[in-house]
A = this chain, B = another copy of it.
Amino acid sequence: MKRPTIADVARRAGVSKGAVSYAMNGQPGVSEATRQRILAIAAEIGFSPSSAARALSGATAKAVGLALCRPARILGIEPFFMELISGVEAELSARSYALTLQVVADQDAEIAVYRRWWAERRVDGVFVCDLRTDDRRVPALEELQLPAVVIGGPGHTGSLASVWSDEAAALAETVEYLVALGHRRIARVGGLPALLHTEIRSDAFTEVCGRLGLDESVTVWSDYTGEEGARATRRLLSSPNRPTAVIYDNDVMAIAGLSVAQEMGLQVPGDLSIVAWDDSPLCQLVHPPLTALGRDIPAYGAHAARQLLRVIAGEPTGELQDETAHLTPRGSTAPPRVR
């Protein structure tokens, strides 16, 4: 069966397609009676205006893009992105915007995708994830004048709008909590050092450890995978003066770390306390359940989507601060056993 066009509706209603257009878009120019008749016919034959034709005549594409720059294995294992996407999606579909997704290999490929999407008028705006300290995507997007919202920050976003969460505060809260429990040797297994949020957390860690006089604190970097998290943990726990608490930059590494600790015969939390960043349901599946820093990721995505639609509409926007992650203490943290 042929998909109906505006002309089909017009013919059956005995009016011009201009009248149908006015009726469908709630614009003045047709009488209420005619409008109802047209809408009824449109519904009857299952007509919705072609998005392509709409996009062509000056209107917007009613679609936004999201490019993800992580290998499949990591994307799958990290609940963060899927939760973010579903939050973004909820907000977008409520305003009948579509989400176009692309997985890219690196920053250059990502910039090329943005350039193509914009030139092809496929999207009205894009999200930028995994902000780096000196991110080439920011100037590229500014040059293209492609509406964009950076998911991350604060700062380093140029003139682009952004949504961010105060990771420094969350980290400080965590360290203070561990210190209050009595820990003095606290280690951190960080994520990819090139990412801005890793740097922010690292700086915050250095700052708060300095402030609290913890001179044995140490950070090792990893890549969010379980393998690397396990390796980093083995290294930390094999050192002569091993830490009594470890903060992991994601939950996958924390679970791997827990596993390593148990395999090395250490009691968690007796010999080692563990805190995970990102409180996905995974944290409650393991034994003991992990103390974690969590926040509402779907809501974060929804805020980013709302922000992007605002940018697209030309409304003034800036940096929007989202909820700060809060610590949920569970069984993986306790005062250190005296040795």
Interface residues of A (CB under 8 A from B): 1, 3-4, 46-56, 61, 63, 72-73, 75-83, 85-87, 89-90, 93, 98-103, 115-116, 118-122, 145, 225-227, 230, 252, 255-256, 258-259, 262-263, 280-282, 284-287, 297-298
Contacts and interface: CB of A to CB of B under 8 A. Distances in A.
Interface of A is mostly: helix
Contacts of A120: 48-51
**Which 6 pairs show the lowest CB-CB distances between chains A and B?**
A76-B79, A52-B55, A72-B86, A48-B119, A76-B83, A76-B82
Contacts of A115: 46
A47 to B, nearest CB: 7
Nearest to A83: B76
Contact of A99 (B87, B101, B259): B101
A4 B4 CA distance: 31
A309 B286 CA distance: 42
Contacts of A90: 72, 103
Nearest to A47: B119
Chain B CB count within 10 A is highest, among A63, A82, A87, A99, for: A82
B100 A93 contact: no
B89 A101 contact: yes
B121 A52 contact: yes
A85 to B, nearest CB: 7
14 contacts: A1-B145, A3-B119, A4-B119, A48-B120, A52-B52, A72-B90, A73-B83, A75-B82, A76-B80, A98-B122, A99-B100, A225-B281, A255-B282, A286-B286
Contacts of A284: 226
A73 B230 CA distance: 26
